[in-house]
Amino acid sequence: MKLKLWGTRGSLPRTLNNQIFSELLIELSHNAEAKGINTLAEFRKAITSGKLGVPLTFGGNTTCTEIIHKKTRCFVDMGSGFLEAGEEALKDDIHEFNVFMTHLHSDHLLGFPYFVPIHIPGNKFTIHHVHPLAPKYIMEMFNGVYFPVKWNELQADIEFKQLKIYEPTQLSDLKVTPFCLDHPGGSFGYHFESEGKKACVGVDGEYKRLTPKELGKDLIYYQNLDILIFDAQYELNELASRSDWGHCSPNIGVDLALREGIRNIYLTHHDPKSAEAKGFRMLEAARKHKKLQLPAHADLWDKLNQPDGPNINMAWDGLEIDVDKL
Ligand SMILES: [Zn+2]
Ligand SMILES: [Zn+2]
């Protein structure tokens, strides 16, 4: 199983203005200096070789994750990153698409009209959703006001499939199950399982319910995961003033991973106002938190043969993760 992260921002795309670009360049030049890079030629080489770090930016597209298992390819959400996913699908000559919608907030939908395969006859496109009104609201995007092409003018064969929470859907040999997240208006995570590998997209979620008892029926979708894509939009000290905004913080994901045996956690739904420096600071803090909390869970992690506990990483636009190699 592979994951491709096409969009990792939340709420809004992060646009690149003069100030952000200048800050990134200045940071890169400091980084280069610290690594003893003295010439422009060396600097140019270092940018592409990874010597200045990977990634150089987390990117600016809103949330869209592709799950690839053998010939099955499906997506969770259609944020602005969906545009680039569509371009790759064209190159790869893919004609059948499945999308699983977490919820209908605009950052998870705004790429849909720009996904070129929906404008090509013969393509088959299925939108799986838990929210019963998803078809109504998604079709409304094509009412001629928000986008020039109308729903009945779309060229692909598009259908909706209503899902029930906790009831799996089988796409070839990939089992996909929706479960509940804590988010205003409701949001649904997706658990993917095949050949003993388990991946989970847990976005958007505030994780107000955390204890096993509070999580109830949702608990099993976190247990013994190979990878969790986790909503970590805010620093822990920002959360208090953002109660009920529907997003979480890295350390809470780390606690969950430590307790439930989640081997890899990727932090995503980055705040559009967060610079890379803040993201790396949050990552650093989360890794420190893990080290401090690990001794209380040492038995579990020894049993899992991963004595250092869960691996914690940032998600970024364009990142590809081979779950089989984690
Ligand atoms: Zn969102
Ligand atoms: Zn949302």
- Give the containing element (helix H, strand E) for 180: strand 174-181
pLDDT, position 71: 87
Ligand with the closest atom to the CA of 185: 2
Q: How far is the CA of 125 from the centre of ligand 1 (A)?
A: 22
Q: How far is the CA of 81 from the centre of ligand 1 (A)?
A: 13
What is the Cα–Cα distance from 35 to 116, expressed in whole angstroms?
A: 42
Residue 16 has pLDDT above 90, yes or no: no
Residues with CB under 5 A from ligand 2 (ion): 105, 204
Q: How far is the CA of 180 from the centre of ligand 2 (A)?
A: 13
Residue 54 has pLDDT above 90, yes or no: no
pLDDT, position 15: 86
SS3 letters across 65-113: EEEEECCEEEEECCCCCHHHHHHHHHHCCCCEEEEECCCCCHHHCCCHH
Q: How far is the CA of 121 from the centre of ligand 1 (A)?
A: 30
pLDDT tens per residue, range 132-175 = 999 999 999 999 999 999 999 999 999 999 999 999 999 999 99
Do residues 84 and 113 touch, judged by C-beta distance below 8 A?
A: no
- The answer to whether residue 260 sits within a structural domain is yes
- The answer to whether residue 52 sits within a structural domain is no
Domain count, the chain: 1
Residue 53 has pLDDT above 90, yes or no: no
Do residues 224 and 191 touch, judged by C-beta distance below 8 A?
A: no
Q: How far is the CA of 325 from the centre of ligand 2 (A)?
A: 31
Average pLDDT over residues 53-70: 94
**CATH number of the domain to which 106 belongs:** 3.60.15.10
Do residues 273 and 236 touch, judged by C-beta distance below 8 A?
A: no
pLDDT tens per residue, range 163-210 = 999 999 999 999 999 999 999 999 999 999 999 999 999 999 999 999
pLDDT tens per residue, range 235-283 = 989 988 998 999 999 999 999 999 999 999 999 999 998 888 899 999 9
Chain center to CA of 67 = 11
What is the Cα–Cα distance from 57 to 55, expressed in whole angstroms?
A: 5
- The answer to whether residue 194 sits within a structural domain is yes
- The answer to whether residue 85 sits within a structural domain is yes
What is the Cα–Cα distance from 224 to 67, expressed in whole angstroms?
A: 19
Ligand with the closest atom to the CA of 108: 1
- DSSP-derived letter for residue 9 is B
CB-neighbour burial class of residue 320 (10 A; exposed 0-12, middle 13-18, buried 19+): exposed
Picking from 229, 238, 185, 206, the residue whose alpha carbon sits closest to that of residue 63 is: 229
Q: How far is the CA of 237 from the centre of ligand 2 (A)?
A: 20
- The answer to whether residue 170 sits within a structural domain is yes
pTM of the full structure? 0.95
- The answer to whether residue 216 sits within a structural domain is yes
- The answer to whether residue 36 sits within a structural domain is no
- The answer to whether residue 325 sits within a structural domain is no
Give the residue numbers spanning the domain of 212: 2-15+58-319
